[in-house]
Structure 1
């Protein structure tokens, strides 16, 4: 199948802007922004909002995301953030004194804070796996750290700084072999990198919407394995109870939670402005196909990496196709991020690396401008 052609016309990006920072925050599709504007205007006409309105859009978006990852709608909770998903997952996973929780060095703080809090509460130990020098094979190092004392592994699919792709299928197999749980953060991969959910079979899997899912801020998704769908949510919400659709009976205070991942939904999940944005974005991703997106973005990052190598700028090894983290052999030039932004070229610095993360809105002119600025 041919690569997806440039989709810049679907985004509101001026011709003079070269935006290579999807790992920070994606721009919205024009169609998604329009869906959000229409949803926001519903609040101007509240007499048109009825009981079904609190459920229909949430179920539609839940179903779209389930299709995207190869799950059932029953397996998906709607959450506001990765930290919310991590808190939910770790509240429902047993860890006892003396056991270990395995994490990666320099991972995004949401998972690290949650792991440390659980370890302190349970009198367990956090094991941090450093990034190997040389080939950067973090998957092998992570596998070595998982043993009989491991209760839980908290890992990304793609590391947010280095762009390293973790072999989550191999990690999952090792977890199962020692009886450890696996919580995945796929915020830097979901929508841009295929994942075989059945093969990985994580206990929980989290993704924020505002990066590679091309969605809004403050919306995310939590996959909950069927084996954990009897767990306890963070909140005592009304909408996650059985029979919540009948507003006349809400004062009956049902104690019975939804028998699915819906019990973990955040309060006020029926966001009339943001859910339509997330839904329109996921629908477009489904139309393009995640494997096709990954192939197209891999071609862009491969082209950039090849050109930058000629100028002494090296790509870190082991990267995911959609993600390029680079280092200057002579050290990062001073104020490089600000100077690029002044030239309308947008990237991010994280640690001692520069993240270059394109999407289908980037064209050849963007790449030429980026390479010219970095090589200068």
Structure 2
């Protein structure tokens, strides 16, 4: 490890580069650019369509307050979405817009319920790519195409999807995701992809040195630069070293193994087969008691309503899944 001298010579920049060699190839600007390039390639988005914010809720609210809402505009969202997904649009009420929260009665019918809710006056449909409680994954292409037929924006919270499952933005207008879940990059950074169709209906809610007129980007000030380094390292590991096909394919396989073992014991995951991603939500009689019982065995899960929510990822093994299934089935008895 380098020792910092008490006195630097007159050429301080050179001295600093000698003390910290990484600065010759890594700066926060380079890291941000690399992240933009990688995310743009992975999501088929241009780097200038991607902004960074401090979190998913932050980004959703900035989007919500930047859209030019009008009286009579309708925003559709499911009533069981995570609060940030439901509440970020309340500023639109001041312009005379309305928010219609629909009830989803069955996970198998979630997509159909959203499609049926689209009306001529709908100006935005807001969804989670993967539902935070049930783990149901939506078909973004199908929903987005329906939104375009109604001239509605399609806005997606992807925090429970990005990194664990492929993302298609072909029909998506806004895609927002923090990076501390499946991207393993810590708190304090979220990406926000805003396509041209959405930008045309926006005026940035906040202005700063990064989006001075005539710029129309939403990012107005600096971001969490240390967080960008963490994101860059994570993208390099999962995207370059391991490869997304391995990471996401392995995750799908682990969830499939879990579903198979539970099905033999008479339990079906909450998300329908064919609409599953990394979140596996297991219906149990007492989710909190089951969670505590599993924790005693060093198996960690979350209690979410009537479900035990688990998130197997590429670093887990089939034995991990087997132990989990065995303990869930045993605790039920």
TM-score when scaled to structure 1?
Answer: 0.75
Q: 1:205: how far off?
A: 0.8
SS in 2 for 1:97: coil
| Structure-1 separation of matches of 2:167 and 2:36 | 18
* 1-structure distance, mates of 2:214, 2:82: 31
Instruction: Label 1:368 to 1:75 Cα distance change in 2 as closer, same or farther (>3 A).
Output: same
Match among 212, 227, 234 for residue 274 of structure 1: 227
Instruction: Give the corresponding residue for 1:106.
Output: 80
Deviations 1:195-241, CA, capped at 9 Å, x for gaps: 2222x2x2211011011122111111000113444744444332x15
Which of 117, 120, 127 is equivalent to 1:145?
117
| Counterpart secondary structure, 1:161 | coil
1:237 to 208, 233, 238: 208
Indicate if the aligned counterparts of 1:57 and 1:270 stay in contact, CA closer than 8 A.
no
CA RMSD of aligned residues (A): 2.5
Which of 53, 64, 67 does residue 93 from structure 1 map onto?
67
- Structure 1 distance, partners of 2:197, 2:288, is 51
Structure 2 distance, partners of 1:208, 1:266, is 18
Q: Which residue of 1 aligns with 2:213?
A: 256
In structure 2, the partner of 1:20 is none
CA–CA distance in 1 between the matches of 2:104 and 2:304?
15
Using the alignment, how far apart are the partners of 2:267 and 2:224 within structure 1?
A: 46
Match of 2:178 in 1: 208
> Residue 32 of structure 2 aligns to a residue in which SS?
helix
Greater RCO structure (CA 8 Å; 6+ sep): 1
Q: Give the deviation of 1:154 after TM superposition.
A: 0.8
Q: Separation in 2 of the partners of 1:340 and 1:266?
A: 45
**Pairwise CA distance, 1:284:** 2.4
* Cα 1:334/1:213, change in 2 over 3 Å: closer
Return the match for 2:29 from 55, 76, 81.
Answer: 55
Q: What TM-score, normalized to structure 2?
A: 0.83
1:161 aligns to what?
A: 133
Separation (CA, whole Å) in 2 of partners of 1:258 and 1:125: 29
Instruction: Look up the SS of the partner of 1:362 in the other structure.
Output: coil
Structure 1 consecutive aligned stretches of length 4 or more whose deviation exceeds 6 Å: none
